[in-house]
Structure 1
Amino acid sequence: MTVNETILRVTISFMVLFMLARLMGRKEIGQMTFFNWASAIGIGSIAGNLVVDDSTPIKDGVIALIVWTAYTIALDIIDLKSKQGRSVTTGDPLIVIKEGKIMEAALKAARVDLDELQALLRQKDIFSFKDVDCAILESNGDLSVLKKESQQPVTKMDLNIQSIKNVLFPLPTDVISDGKVNSENLSKLHLEKGWLERELKKANISSAEDVFFAQVQQDGTLYIDRKTK
């Protein structure tokens, strides 16, 4: 392979990678799922092979990069449009600690042992399970932790408390996502669709299809984010 051909291959590979990376959107390393990470390695491998392997025609290498990227973007679109598809491609978050109790079945499903769980907690500056009220293992491998009330830092609101609201639910819970009602979550909260419809009417919203996201808060109130038109 001549110097000119090497420069040509590097230039083409670099430009194609740059354009495809822009098409695939911006996502930090910490936000990447395992599939995103594996897909990025695959694209990098194809690009590297295009640069150094003169037995691979430039046209074939570019086509391989484009097709691989197209499949990746297609799965990202499925993630955005379908909750069921998102569950298949990226998986669902798992509650590994609930109300201070370790969920052994969830740990087994995630193939995470106690040592790994403790390491993840230490990264959140938590060194004892007794300080944790709830912990959720996200689909990207990160751990979201809600400390027990006695371990939470004091806020400005805490210093000027007017009234203490009753905690009706252990965690804020999604009930509408992208215009679709999550009947399963409503059932878990022992709430009916009629209650949800009344709450939407109070906010001058006639249909759940007009709501991008709605979440029942711990005090029983409903947070609503309308779809942008």
Structure 2
Amino acid sequence: MKFTPFQKPKYFLCVFTFSLCLLWLKENIITTNYIKPLQYYIRHFLDVRSKFDIVPILIRYTMPTVKIQQKLTPCLWFDSNAWDAVTFYTTVFNNVEKGKISYYGSDMPMPQGSVLTIQFQIEGQEFLALNAGPNFKFTEAVSFMINCDTQEEIDYYWNKLTEDGGEEGVCGWLKDKFGLSWQVVPAIMGDMVANSDGKKVNKVMQAIMKMKKPNIAQLVEAYSGSPDVIKA
């Protein structure tokens, strides 16, 4: 492809403008439905591949971006009921997403075709559920904290996670029916135990140690002398 001195700047201006449009699409309305037709147009109707190698560049910058996984992901070891556990958590939490699922193949420890791993998220936190046999069990040494703003939230999570065979612990600890430990925690608890007044902290700790399911009003009363107001 040859250009006259007058044509060349116009051509590159056109390609540059078109590239900016594609980049804008990538950042604002990037979906497969939009991008694939645009890539087809670039490949088949812009005769610039051989001389300027612009097509690979444009296609690279208009491909959908891949979601980056978080650096640390808890792996939860189940016997053979990882699918049941993840399904249960979808009934407990509002914001739950199931991700990729892998399966056992031939010559592997579990039956071929059974679930090996399930990726899922709870409130944006990524987890991996693993079916790997009865070798290891969950303990209270590792638990997941659920920060609750109201007593209604505490009651909800406590009741849901202990139903059908779960176990109540003390100080907000519990086990669900799969043996996984959770802490149902008043969100204000962190501020109360971090207070510089040691007497207030001691009263709060004495109160929570006597509880199974936390009671916000009783904790606030122990902290400040009133069930309604927390004093700094």
Give your verdict on TM over 0.5: no
TM-score using structure 1 length:
0.30
Decide which structure has the larger Cα Rg and report it.
2
1 or 2, which has the higher helix percentage?
Answer: 1
